[in-house]
Each structure stands twice: as structure tokens, then as C-alpha cells.
Amino acid sequence: MTTPTATTALYTGEERSKRIFAIVGASSGNLVEWFDFYVYAFCAIYFAPAFFPSDNPTVQLVNTAGVFAAGFLMRPIGGWIFGRVADKHGRKNSMLISILMMCFGSLLIACLPTYNSIGVWAPVLLLFARLLQGLSVGGEYGTTATYMSEVALKGQRGFFASFQYVTLIGGQLLAVLVVVILQQFLSEDELRAYGWRIPFVVGACAALISLFLRRSLKETTSKEMRENKDAGSISALFRDHKAAFITVLGYTAGGSLIFYTFTTYMQKYLVNTAGMHAKTASYIMTGALFLYMCMQPLFGMLADKIGRRNSMLWFGALGTLCTVPILLSLKSVSSPFVAFVLITLALAIVSFYTSISGLVKAEMFPPEVRALGVGLAYAVANAIFGGSAEYVALSLKAGGMENSFYWYVTVMMAIAFLFSLRLPKQAKYLHHDL
């Protein structure tokens, strides 16, 4: 195992600085992408009437949720398109196109005329903007994970790669924060009239700053690598690396499901199942998510010490053993503090995976199909299992079988553990090519 002293000796001070700046530049775009993607969900209650006129507020929210889901379903296509671009034309170009597309989607939503102005074209254009954002964020994960893994310092790759989820969670928290600030300065009527547009403008401006940072990034692929006949080829991916792709799908399915269970769905679970006040649930989740964000570098450092494979095995094992007890305890919890502790415990278990998820995936593929393999496998598993987590949970609850959801997550975690056993003890790729 590489010691910190040995790691330092591998790089000059200038090289270390350049690589750290590259991590900052790549992860800044990741933060903006997720801010822009999730600010839609947090602002929907205010702009829904402007695009979906109806006497029933629930119908309005269902329509906006449908558009949100459409963005989710675009992720696999984004993972394929941007993965191919990253492998064939360079990681940097892929990240620049991705952030530009997100910027345009956010700016379009911010400037969209309402239903009263242009009729049915208003929701159509809203859907178009969300499809663009879905494509963008679908491509962002694979390319950013690949790039950050390739520029991370040897011996500290777990630590540096963990900042992908630091910025992913940070983007969600910033989206909440911007909306909360607006709620302090604008009335309900002002938020519905024009205030909801402000976060999208903020996101578009932040995307331009990230674009500036990313323009100065150094490309990690060589011309020879990009001109490889297999570069970005989906047929080559499935011909030569099918086993790796299936392995990544296997543990990403469980990872995505438990991540969305204890992040986006948990607030609703505390209200609908535990019977907590919505504002209390918001406070609990904001605090828990902040701690979760701070955990990522710590668990990344732990993975550097004990090995990525061992971290993944701990994730699968603890997730299998603890999911049902934690969810059952939360079901009857009355103390907000106890709820906070239980959710933080669950997120600590998830951190074994999220802190190194992009890196573990990147190590499974050679450079010519790395971004494609990582991005597509993640996007497919995430769309199917992560995107459906809330729907499955609520459907089972409506059918009087809520406990079945706990066991569903547990089974998927057991599957993640089994697929983690397939991980090599020594990375076949990435370890040698940089």
C-alpha cells in the first residue's frame, strides 16, 4: 500500500497543485449540475400553476413530477452519448458540453413564458428543458467519475474521488438553501409570480463559472487512446467487458436504491409513516445530509487504508444487516434526535459505497471505454432502481405492505454484497495506466 510519504514523492509540488485544481474544476461542475437538476423539485410547488393550470394543486404537482421523472429517464441516454464523447473525443470536451447543456436548460426554464402567455407550448418547452437537463446529468456522472479517478493522486484516490459525492450532495443542499433564503425575503405570491425563476438563473450563472474552470483542465486521454477503434464503442464494451459491466450494474442497483431511500424518500417517510411535522422532517434531513456530505472524504480515506473492495463488502454486509432494523425503528420513532441519529447511521453505511463509487467503477474498465462503461452502467441502474425507489415505497405503503419495501432494499443490498465479491483484490485498470 502506498504511504503518504511515498505518494508525495511521486509528484512535484506543481504536479500536485495541478491535479488538485483539476479535482476542483471537475467537481465544481458536478455541484452545479446537481443543483440545477434538484432545484426543479424544490421550486415545483411555486411554478406548477404557471405551466399546468388546474383547480387541483395535486394534479399540478403530479404533472410537474412527471416532467421531473422524464428527466430521470433520460439519464441512460446521456450516459451513453456523453460516455462515447468522453472516450472518443476526450473527458474535457464531454464535461464542457455537459455543463453548457445544463446551463442552457436552466436558463430556458428561467425565461419560459407561462401557460397563460403561450398555451400548451409552455409545458412542452418545460419538458424539453428537463430532457436536456436529464441528458446532461446522465452524462455528468460517468465522465466526472472517470476524470476525477484518473487525475486523483495515487495512494489517495479514494479521498480525492470522494469529492464527487461531496459536490453531488452539496448541490442538493445548496438548492434547498437558495429556496429557503428566497422564502425569507419574498412572499408566497411573489415566489409564485417570479421568485421561482431566480434559482434557475443562479444555476445558469454558476454553470458559466464552472465552464470557465473546466476550460483550463488538462485532458487525461492521449490522441492514440481516442483514436483506438474501440474508443467509445458500445459493441466493444459488451464484447470484451460484459462481465465488468454486469458487476457494476449489480452493485450500483443496490447502491442507488439505498441512497435514494435514505436521502430523497426519507423526508416523506418521516412525515407519512413516522408522523412527524414536515418542517421537523426538513430540519432532520438537512442536518443529516450535511453530515453525510462531510463523511465522504473520511470514508474515502478509509478506503485508501483498507482497500476499495473491503469498503464495498462492508457496505453490502452492513446494508443487508441493518436496513430492516433502522427502517422499523424510524417507523415508530417519536424523538427527532433519535431519528437524526438513525438516519445518520444509515448514511454512514451508504458512505462506504458513495465515497468511492465512481472510482470503483472506473477501475473496472480500460481507458478507451471507461467513461462509457461507468456512465451507462450507473445511469441504467440508477434510473431503474434509484429513480423508482420512492414510487415503489409509496405503492407498497398504499397497498398495506410497507414492510415489504424494507426487505426489497435488504435483498438488493445482499445482491450488492455478492457482486462486490466479484471485485478484484487489485485493480486491473487505472492502477497502471496513470
The C-alpha atoms of residue 5 and residue 302 are separated, in whole angstroms, by: 17
Residues shown for the chain: 434
Cα distance between residue 31 and residue 140, in whole Å: 10
> Which domains occur in the chain, in start order?
14-232 (1.20.1250.20), 242-364+388-425 (1.20.1250)
Give the pLDDT means over successive 10-residue stretches in the chain (434 positions). 51 80 84 82 80 70 67 85 93 92 91 90 88 86 88 85 90 87 88 91 91 87 88 91 94 94 87 85 89 96 94 97 96 93 97 94 91 92 85 85 94 96 76 45
For residue 154, give the H/E element and its range. none
At 306 the pLDDT is: 94
Cα–Cα distance for residue pair 297/287, rounded to 1 Å:
17
The C-alpha angle with vertex 72 and arms to 374 and 175, in degrees rounded to 5, equals 100
Q: Which DSSP string do the residues of 168-234 spell out, in sequence order?
A: HHHHHHHHHHHHHHHHHHS-HHHIIIIITHHHHHHHHHHHHHHHHHHHTPPP-S-HHHHTSTTTT-H
Rg (CA), the chain: 21
CB count in 10 Å sphere of residue 387: 21
The residues, any chain, with a CB within 8 Å of residue 143's CB and separated by 6 or more, are 82, 83, 85, 86, 91, 94, 95, 98, 371, 375
pLDDT, residue 2, reads 47
DSSP letter for each residue of 54-94: -S-HHHHHHHHHHHHHHHHHTHHHHHHHHHHHHHHH-HHHH
Cα–Cα distance, 398 to 325 (Å, whole number): 21
Q: How far apart are CA 20 and CA 423, in angstroms?
A: 28
Give the chain's count of helices (H) and strands (E): 22, 0
**Which residues contact residue 427 at a Cβ distance below 8 angstroms, ignoring those fewer than 6 apart?**
308, 363
* Backbone φ/ψ region at 2: left (φ over 0), alpha (ψ -120 to 50), beta: beta
Q: Which residue is it, cell 445548496?
A: 174
- Which residue's entry shows cell 465479491? 421
Q: Residue 26: its pLDDT value, please?
A: 85
Rounded to two decimals, the pTM is 0.86
